[in-house]
Every structure is written in C-alpha cells, then in structure tokens.
Structure 1
C-alpha cells in the first residue's frame, strides 16, 4: 500500500485504511477501463494507495494505440486527521485526454469537465467536502521534421476532495472510484451509462469521439 510501511519499524496499517483499499480493489467498473495499482506518492500522507487507469477503444485498428484517456487516482490517509482536508481521507486525481480542436476552443469546456466530476459524485449520493482542482487546456503545433503532424489539443483535470467517512470511519471508496471512472469515460468521449450522469436539465453532455489516441 505504501512502501514506507513495509519495514518492521513502521507503524501498523490502520484497519480503516485497509478497508478503504479493499473497497477500491472490489469496485466493479466499465469494461472499457483498464486499471492497475501503481506506486503511490510517499510524502503526502502516512498511508497511501494509487491506481492508474486507461479508457481503451475496443474498435481501434491498432491495439497499441487504443487509449482514449488515462488517469491516476490516489487515496491518502492520515489517522490523525489533516487540517486542510477536514477529515482523515483524501482522494487526489489526474485525468488527461486528447480533444478535437473545436472542442478545446469551447469557452465552457472547463466548467463542463468539472461538472462531470461533481455530477458523478452526486449521482451516487456521495458526500464529500473541500473539493479543489484545475482544468487545463493545451494545444501543440508541430514544426520541422515533425511538421506533418496535425495540431493536437489536450485536456487535463487535476482534482482532490475529502470523501466523507461512513459509520465505521471508512468512506465508500468503491463508489468514489466508480464516479471517478465515469469522469474518465466522459473525458474520453464515451457515452455515459444510462442514468449515471445528467446535468441540471436532465440532458447528458458528452464530448465527441477523439481523432486518435491520447499521447502523454
């Protein structure tokens, strides 16, 4: 879970953190999502666990270039509580995907992308606090020896929030992971699961399919 706690001198892993990690491991996700554990950050909290995920296009002609979006989700835990979190758990994420140029130019795109995260959490009735984050658009133009490449635009979402703890002092991490994966699929341009994410008027807002795979 956290490499810093694998030696004999480290404090024992709290039951609440082990239970929260078990929730992440047991979550049932959409088949388009490939997810694996990865090395977590070592200095953000006493205990941490991380996952990285990719949304793949099953119909892609080239299996090596079938990624539509990718991301990383980190679960942090400080048994003593954290003043900035207002809780003992924190979820931190990075999500990235390539966009069509006209979508990248949409002035409402950042607000829409942020609403996908908050909407996914609300759709599952999840209670959380202290949300913060950024939505960044970037465009690349190629010159010289790679000048034949078409311009590329990318969206990047960085966010964190405090999942509220349940009766046993453990948040519903499986539901939070499912909400995060819905954000990942929305950014990838996949249609949402029916009834999973809706705007205030009940309409689902999605991005079009990408020109090609995401490149980090």
Structure 2
C-alpha cells in the first residue's frame, strides 16, 4: 500500500530537506495489510515534525498498530548526533504464555534492526524499550481470555542519502515490517531478509 501522501500544510516555512524527507514517506510501498494515515505531529520535540499512524488489518481484525514520527531540527540536538530523528511505537497482542519467554524482548528488537538492515535504511544512535503487559479479566469480563501486549518504543537517527536527506521510504517500510512481524504475518515472497526473520510460536492471530 502506498503511504499517505506527505504534505506540509502547517509547515510552509519548513526547510527543503525536511520537505523532501516527508515527500519520500509518500513514496513508500508497504504490504497490503498495512493501512497508513497522517496524524497530527507533536510540536514540542523539534521545530519540524511529521507523523503517520499504521494498523495491520487481516479480515477486518486489527492485529498490530503504531505510529512513526519524523523530527527535524536544522541545528541538531545533542543526543541525536544529526538533524533528523525517527521516533516510533509498535504494539501487538501475543498469546499470554509468550510474556514469560526470556528471549521475547531481544527477538522483538531484532525484528526492527533486521528490517532496517534488510531495507538498507542506514541509521545511528538507536535506543528503545520492549515492554510486555498482561491483562486478566474478572467479574462481568471474566469470559474474556487473558491477553498480553508487546510494545516496542524506539528511536534512531536516519543517515542522509546521497540526495542530502534521509531515505524515509526505506525507514517507513522497515518499521511497517516490524508491525507485520509483530502481528504474526509471514514474510512475503521475495521480501528482503525474510529468510532471516526469527518468529515466535503460539502467536495470536492468523497462522
């Protein structure tokens, strides 16, 4: 699916490199299960920001969701080591027993770094958190099965391409692949790095 077309209605004074990076987001082609849309971007993290949200839908059921924010500060920020920063959130529901797997956080983080590498999305200064939360229902909700949600919060500094701004299409596609893997979808035929993806068993959702 083609990403929501980038536009800067509220960013008329945005630097050209930021405008080009946003336009690159609009050229990204993701899996058909992914729905993308522009959302309001946070205004306090950087002088310029652009945000999209995504959901992985299979037969009308939402299996994963998240958001990606592209930040730009022309003078840079100390912890970025660059003038751009990508901030992301990805969430998906797993079978409850998966929360006890000690390898779960490492595997989930590898889904992101592996997807970035497979798409040639160069980056530096990565940071993030992988969290699991379990829900058990009682009383009037007792019939609902227990559930576990995995949440990956990550940020990184995208490297400039030869054109002088980050190839944000590659970064967006890689992030969407993290969502799809978290949702339990198998790699598509010919998907870069598909054979190297580590999957978790007993994943909630389509097998």
- Say whether the fold is shared (TM-score over 0.5): yes
Query: How far is the alpha carbon of 1:197 from its aligned partner?
Result: 2.9
Q: Structure 1 residue 175 and structure 2 residue 170: aligned?
A: yes
Q: Structure 1 residue 189 and structure 2 residue 184: aligned?
A: yes
Cα distance in structure 2, aligned partners of 1:181 and 1:209: 18
Find the counterpart in structure 1 of residue 70 from structure 2: 75
Give the number of aligned pairs: 198
Find the counterpart in structure 1 of residue 3 from structure 2: none
Cα distance in structure 2, aligned partners of 1:141 and 1:2: 43
Query: How far is the alpha carbon of 1:205 from its aligned partner?
Result: 1.6
Cα distance in structure 1, aligned partners of 2:161 and 2:180: 27
**Structure 1 residues 54-69: aligned runs within 5 Å:** 54-58=55-59, 63=60, 66-69=61-64
Q: Which stretches of structure 1, 4 residues or more, deviate above 3 A after TM superposition? A: 1-6
Find the counterpart in structure 1 of residue 82 from structure 2: 87
Which one has a bigger Cα radius of gyration? 1
Find the counterpart in structure 2 of residue 206 from structure 1: 199
> Taking structure 1 as the reference length, what is the TM-score of the superposition?
0.86
Q: Which runs of 5+ in 1 are unaligned?
A: 7-11
Q: Which runs of 5+ in 2 are unaligned?
A: 1-6
Cα distance in structure 2, aligned partners of 1:168 and 1:81: 19
Asked if the contact 1:50–1:72 (Cα under 8 Å) also holds between the matched residues in 2, the reply is yes
Find the counterpart in structure 2 of residue 26 from structure 1: 27
**Structure 1 residues 98-137: aligned runs within 5 Å:** 98-137=93-132
Kindly tell me: are residues 70 and 20 of structure 1, through their superposed partners in 2, closer, same or farther at Cα, counting changes over 3 Å? same
